[in-house]
Structure 1
Amino acid sequence: MAPGALLELLWLASPALPVGGFSYSEALEAAVEAGLVTHEAQARDWLLDQLQLSLARADLAVVAAAHAAWEAGDEQRIRALNDWVQLTRESSELRQQSEQMGRSMLEWLRNQSEAADDPRLTLLGQLKPPTWPVAWALGAVRGGAALEPALLAHAFGWAENLVQAALKAVPLGQSAGQRILAALARDIPAAVAHALSLDDARRQAFTPMLAILSARHEAQYSRLFRS
């Protein structure tokens, strides 16, 4: 990759990107409350399962499809992918997370000085509202990232955010968090390969326990995270 494209991709994947990803645990906090995640090994296994069963089969597959659609200027495909994300979120708070982060990504892209005349941003703004995987894919395309590196970066950014959530919610120490992140990093290439193998018929968002815990989290009495 060209140095500029690599730096753009690292920027997009950073938890410091001002889109609010740090404020979500994606039901991990509810799993802690339910006694399902109480120590490092359980947190590691929970996130590894989520990577393979949720992220790889849904969001990463959408990012891959949206990356191609943005490159091709396929408006119909972009709208269909955005609709799919909205329709398949399994709880209210998971849908709100995707929509809030998608809107924030749109605003961040609009604030880039070279973005003013990009018609793709106009299309993204017309989606009601844009969702996170679709909006993030546009950021990767605009930065010149190839497909596979973009998916690896997206997955690692997700992993960093969720490990930070585990540190706060379980709670865990920094060394435990680094061991969990190392385990996720080892599995991310296989998750990306799986996402790239999925067509529309095989892409799916079906994680019942995650959905139940997310729904419980919406009414959880004491919580740190928005989801």
Structure 2
Amino acid sequence: MLTDSALLTLLQWVSPALPIGGFNYSEGLETLIAQGKITSAAAVQDWLIFELAFGSAQLEAAIMVRVYRAIAKGDFDAVHQWNAWLSAARESAELRAQNWQMGTALMNLLTTLEDLPPELHTAHAQPYPWNVSVAFCIAAALADIPLEIALLGYLHSWVTTLINAAVKLIPLGQTAGQVLLRQLQPHIQQTVQQSLNVTDDDLESCTLGLALASMQHETLYCRLFRS
């Protein structure tokens, strides 16, 4: 059951106005658009569908499931272990830096807004800074937002951020961006269901194109996005 308070909190966490810097990043899209590999709404859709099914998005969702369940059990060591695992799984320094920057910003915000368990404070010893998906999952768990709804919210926010980047870069019209967001709803739902059932042995992603695009981004002659 999603209470009114939990719903309002979820809307706050998925808002583009959340001050964690997500608007700074294109996650390789700017490189691919500059190279002429993505030039239309259909191409953006194909890219995002792949990421939702086989790429970093589905892997993050699967780790969020484990983090959420660990918090429910009070197993904070497991929360830190999965955060470290996800940091080690990042394909490039650029993607890792993005996730650490956004995750740390969100955890700092949580420290102000929520009563964090001592084991989850940023100052608590841990091998890596927080990844943004792990921080979002912590925020959702503390607000009693049901796991499946939290996953839907996170993936919707992620897709929205990248569509907004494509609207600026290709450029796409605002209406085309909204059509694309609606078309991706079934794929977001499918990724959530996949993440709820995947086993630890089957945790994997296939993101070679994303890794190369993110690494090449810093050498672009002109950039709108940080990475």
TM class by shorter chain equals: over 0.9
Give a deviation string over 1:52-94, Cα, whole Å, max 9, x none.
2224431111111111112212122112111111111111110
State the alpha-carbon separation in 1 of the partners of residues 3 and 203 from structure 2: 31
What is the TM-score normalised by the length of structure 1?
0.93
Are the aligned partners of 1:106 and 1:125 in contact in 2 as well (CA < 8 Å)? no
What corresponds to 1:7 in structure 2? 8
> What SS class does the counterpart of residue 37 from structure 1 fall into?
coil
Specify the alignment match of 2:163 in structure 1: 163
1:52-201 superposed matches below 5 A: 52-112=53-113, 114-115=114-115, 118-122=117-121, 125-127=124-126, 128-201=128-201
The letter of the residue matching 2:75 is D
Q: Report the aligned-residue RMSD.
A: 1.6
Partners of 2:181 and 2:187 in 1: how far apart?
10
Q: Which moved more, 1:4-13 or 1:200-209?
A: 200-209
Deviation at 1:126, TM superposition (A): 3.4
Structure 2 CA distance for aligned equivalents of residues 124 and 148 of structure 1: 29
- Aligned residue pairs, count: 225
2:125, 2:29 → 1: CA distance?
A: 32
List alignment gaps of at least 5 residues for structure 1: none
SS at match of 1:126: coil
**TM-score, length basis structure 2:** 0.93
Report the alpha carbon displacement of residue 125 of structure 1 after superposing the two structures with TM. 4.6
- The separation in 2 between residues aligned to 1:17 and 1:57, in whole angstroms, is 23
Report Cα offsets for 1:95-144 as digits up to 9, x if no partner: 001100110011110111x42x6324326753331111211110001111
Post-superposition CA distance 1:194-220 (Å, at most 9, x none):
111112211123311111111111222
Alpha-carbon distance in 1 for matches of 2:152, 2:223: 30
Q: Structure 1: which amino acid aligns with 2:150?
A: A
